[in-house]
């Protein structure tokens, strides 16, 4: 076993964990780990301890042969690894962009999100600070719209543009 | 004296005598790093066919486009290239739009650029009347870097880049070939047996 261990040390120590250098010495100027496996204390250890990493390496799963490119190709190009074609793509009836059947149209969502952001900025300007949200409902009115009698006690947010077609009033 | 010598030297510059690099090949070598050579794929767009005869069927337009040094792995990009091979351009754009891969965004841009090129420069009438004849990936220029591990160990990692090539052809996509059945294979086997001859005999 000490001969095996010496062989292991010669093979593994200079190469280290992933270091790509010839066995004569490290190719790049990086410190090889200063500590050595417990080879110096061989004589001292009379009781066989649990096998350290350097011995259990002998029982690790290791590839026996190089996988040829043909075998690699069979694995990588197997139909279960190829990307499957999606059959759930439709056209959004509102804007005409593509959308997935179970997902909202990306363009319409972005459009609504942009408008909501502007409304929220108006709200923030009106409130002026945190914790100032009123206890009444909010109504958004666009250019040339007057509050009706239904919007009596509600807070009114003005937006200086024409009402978008998708934002239906009431 | 010094000014005269300088003037003489500046007059006697040998490069000025020969504008073409005939006598000084070393100074005029353009390496690929300094001057980007046009790759083979880009040059395929420049071939000019002789005019077609009146009876010949119309040759469909072919558009070659590529993008170089995309920061992505060529093996991962290959899956996307394999997905869109043989599809019409609209179908390919739809598939790529809803794919979650990083390369899908890049390939979509390349396809849109190629479609634009086709309509502007290559006399393609309808931008939807294109299909993808070939789509390939290639290895870009790799750069080696150090990856730091624990305990002072290190590894050398490759910064991986790829090229993507696409060839659009005018016309509807060709119908997919029917898969090879056992009957086809048996017929081919019998044909091979029948093709055998005796050599070096009467």
Q: In chain A, how many H helices and how many E strands?
A: 4, 4
Average pLDDT over residues B113-128: 95
Count of structural domains, chain B: 1
Instruction: Specify the pLDDT at position A167.
Output: 94
Query: Does residue B10 form part of some domain?
Result: no
pLDDT value at B19 more than 80: no
Instruction: Specify the pLDDT at position B163.
Output: 97
Which has more confidence, A54 or B65?
A: B65
- pLDDT-derived band at B150 (thresholds 50, 70, 90) equals very high
Query: Does residue B112 form part of some domain?
Result: yes
Beta strand pairing status for B62-70 and B130-139? Answer: unpaired
Is the CB of residue B24 less than 8 Å away from at least one CB of chain A? no
Q: How much of chain B, in percent, has pLDDT values that exceed 70?
A: 83
Angle between helices B74-84 and B89-97 (to 10 degrees): 130
CA A144 to chain centre: 47
Query: Does residue B99 form part of some domain?
Result: yes
CB B84 within 8 A of CB B167: no
Instruction: Specify the pLDDT at position B126.
Output: 95
- pLDDT-derived band at B21 (thresholds 50, 70, 90) equals very low
Q: From CA A27, how far away is CA A21, in angstroms rounded?
A: 5
* Cβ atoms < 10 Å from Cβ of B177: 7
Q: Name the phi and psi angles at B86, rounded to 5.
A: 85, 0
* Cβ atoms < 10 Å from Cβ of B65: 21
Query: Does residue B36 form part of some domain?
Result: no
User: What was the ipTM of the complex prediction?
Assistant: 0.71
Instruction: Specify the pLDDT at position A25.
Output: 45
Query: Does residue B148 form part of some domain?
Result: yes
Query: Does residue B19 form part of some domain?
Result: no
Residue of chain A whose alpha carbon sits nearest to that of B100: A83
Neighbouring residues of B88: CB distance < 8 A, sequence distance ≥ 6: B128, B130, B131, B132, B172, B173
Tell me the H-state helices in chain A: 2-15, 53-56, 69-76, 106-127
Question: In 3-state terms, what secondary structure has residue B176?
Answer: coil
Which one, of B181, B166, B162, lies nearest residue B87 by Cα?
B166
Measure CB to CB from residue B153 to each of A16, A82, A89 and give the nearest one: A16
Q: From CA B132, how far away is CA B86, in angstroms rounded?
A: 5
Provide the domain limits for residue B116: 60-170
Query: Does residue B178 form part of some domain?
Result: no
Q: CA torsion B7→B13→B16→B17, rounded to 10°?
A: 110
**Distance, in angstroms, between A51 CA and closest chain B CA?**
21
Is the CB of residue A19 less than 8 Å away from at least one CB of chain B? yes
Measure CB to CB from residue A83 to each of B79, B149, B156 and give the nearest one: B79
Instruction: Determine which helix (DSSP H) or strand (DSSP E) holds B163, and give its type and residue range.
Output: strand B162-170
The reported pTM is 0.72
Which one, of B188, B66, B32, lies nearest residue B137 by Cα?
B66
Size of interface A-B (CB pairs under 8 A): 49
CB B104 within 8 A of CB B164: no
pLDDT value at B17 more than 80: no
Mean pLDDT by runs of 10 across the 170 residues of chain A is: 55 51 48 52 53 77 96 96 96 95 96 96 94 93 91 92 91
Specify the DSSP class assigned to residue A36. Answer: -
Specify the DSSP class assigned to residue B33. Answer: T
Instruction: Specify the pLDDT at position A131.
Output: 94
Which has more confidence, A51 or B85?
A: B85
Query: Does residue B140 form part of some domain?
Result: yes
Instruction: Specify the pLDDT at position A5.
Output: 55
* Cβ atoms < 10 Å from Cβ of A37: 16
Instruction: Specify the pLDDT at position A51.
Output: 56
pLDDT value at B12 more than 60: no
Residue of chain A whose alpha carbon sits nearest to that of B84: A85
Convert B90-109 to b/e letters by CB count within 10 Å (16 or more is b).
bbbbbbbbebebebbebbbe
Cross-chain Cβ contact B153/A86 below 8 Å: no
CATH of the domain at B161: 3.90.470.10
**Distance, in angstroms, between A85 CA and closest chain B CA?**
7
Instruction: Specify the pLDDT at position B78.
Output: 97
């Amino acid at each position: 076993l000490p001969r095996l261990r010496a062989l292991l040390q010669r093979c593994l120590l200079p190469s280290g964990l992933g270091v790509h250098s010839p066995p004569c010495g490290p190719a790049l100027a990086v410190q090889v780990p200063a500590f050595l496996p417990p080879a110096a204390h061989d004589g001292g250890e009379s009781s066989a301890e649990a096998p350290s990493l350097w011995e259990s390496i002998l029982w690790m799963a290791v590839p026996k042969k190089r996988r040829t490119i043909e075998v690699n190709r069979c694995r990588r190009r197997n139909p279960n690894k190829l990307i499957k074609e999606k059959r759930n793509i439709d056209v959004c009836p509102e804007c005409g962009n593509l959308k997935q059947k179970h997902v909202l149209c990306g363009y319409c969502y972005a459009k609504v999100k942009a408008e909501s952001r502007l409304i929220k900025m108006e709200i923030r300007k009106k409130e002026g600070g945190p914790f100032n949200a009123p206890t009444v409902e909010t109504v958004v009115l666009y250019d040339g719209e007057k509050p009706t009698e239904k919007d009596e006690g509600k807070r009114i947010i003005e937006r200086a543009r024409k009402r978008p077609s998708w934002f239906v009033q009431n | 004296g010094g000014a005269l010598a300088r003037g003489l030297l500046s007059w006697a510059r040998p490069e000025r005598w020969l504008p073409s690099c005939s006598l000084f090949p070393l100074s005029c070598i353009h390496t690929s790093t300094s001057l980007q050579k046009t790759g083979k794929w880009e040059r395929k767009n420049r071939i000019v066919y002789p005019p077609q005869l009146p009876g010949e069927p119309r040759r469909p337009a072919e558009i070659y486009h590529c993008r170089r040094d995309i920061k992505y792995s060529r093996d991962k990009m290959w899956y996307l290239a394999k997905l869109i091979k043989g599809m019409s351009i609209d179908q390919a754009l739809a598939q790529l739009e809803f794919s979650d891969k990083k390369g899908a965004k890049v390939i979509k841009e390349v396809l849109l650029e190629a479609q634009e090129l086709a309509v502007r420069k290559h006399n393609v009438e309808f931008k939807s009347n294109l299909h993808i004849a070939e789509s390939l990936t290639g290895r870009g220029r790799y750069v080696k870097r150090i990856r730091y591990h624990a305990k002072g160990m290190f590894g050398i990692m490759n910064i991986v880049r790829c090229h993507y090539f696409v060839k659009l052809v005018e016309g509807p996509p060709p119908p997919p070939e029917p898969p090879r059945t056992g009957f086809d294979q048996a017929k081919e086997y019998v044909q091979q047996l029948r093709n055998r001859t005796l050599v070096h005999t009467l």
